[in-house]
Amino acid sequence: MSIQVNRLSDPTVRSFVTAVNAHDKAAFDALLAPGATMSDDGSDRDVADWTDREVFSSNGHMDVETESDGGRTLVVSYRNDTWGEMRTKWRFTVEGGKIARFETGQA
């Protein structure tokens, strides 16, 4: 059973999930702090390249299963046109209402 996006605790993370699910790249980019970083399965990746490939050009979608750490850690059923569906964990570092870093990988 998934958590409705509008019920996610952290407003910045809520906006992140909303932007991903709406395929709204402009809103997504506006959420990132200057110099934001990310990792996928423990390897740092270029945020713009990774999100274009894994989210926006492949119709990425997040169904949040659980949240913890004040809403800054999520377990998500993530799907896109490239990989299909997988259970993933997302951890967010939020500074000043912006995403400074996010880490994702298989849960």
Query: How far is the C-alpha of 46 from the C-alpha of 69, rounded, in Å?
Result: 25
Asked if pLDDT for residue 4 goes beyond 80, the answer is yes
Cβ burial 9-32 (10 Å sphere, 16+ → b, else e): ebebbbbbbbbbeeeebeebeebb
Asked if pLDDT for residue 1 goes beyond 80, the answer is no
CA dihedral for 60, 70, 39, 52, sign (positive or negative): positive
Q: Would you give the DSSP letter of residue 13?
A: H
Encode pLDDT of 31-68 as tens digits: 999 999 999 999 999 999 999 999 999 999 999 999 99
pLDDT band at 28 (very low <50, low <70, confident <90, very high): very high
Asked if pLDDT for residue 24 goes beyond 80, the answer is yes
Asked if pLDDT for residue 13 goes beyond 90, the answer is yes
